[in-house]
Amino acid sequence: MELKDVTKNLKNQTVYRIEQRFKTMMRTNPRYRNLDKENQKLIFDLIAEEKAKAIHGIKTSGLSIRDDMYHLYQNRIKLGLTYGDLDQIKELLQSFKD
């Protein structure tokens, strides 16, 4: 399972179902095992934020992805994010555009 599988059909999924898919992905995909609980919460918060936008009909743009990445990059030390974590988060944000 990949990130795009979690974010597929985001508007029509319940928060509970998205959380189930996210946790399944974290368990089954070894690529994402480096993310600790705080980083997982941060990623899930980003997913919930994008879901709220999707419900109101707001599509994810390249500008909003760059804006989110800018703020995450600025606060990477405070949040405890590595460059690998930032790459995975960027991949997640890119999956919202599909």
For the segment 17-50, what is each residue's pLDDT rounded down to a tens digit? 888 888 888 888 888 777 788 888 888 888 888 8
Number of structural domains the chain divides into: 1
Q: 54 pLDDT exceeds 90?
A: no
- Which three-class secondary structure state does DSSP give residue 35? coil
Distance, CA of 38 to CA of 34 (rounded, Å): 11
Given this model, what pLDDT does residue 1 score? 67
CA separation (Å) from 52 to 33, 74, 92?
Answer: 27, 24, 16
Is 23 within 8 Å of 73 (Cβ atoms)? no
Is 3 within 8 Å of 91 (Cβ atoms)? yes
Q: pLDDT-derived band of residue 11, with 50, 70 and 90 as boundaries?
A: confident
Domain of 26, in residue numbers: 3-95
Given this model, what pLDDT does residue 73 score? 93
To the question of pTM greater than 0.85 for the whole model, the response is no
Given this model, what pLDDT does residue 98 score? 65
Segment 62-76 mean pLDDT = 91
Closest to 50 (Cα-Cα) out of 1, 86, 94:
94
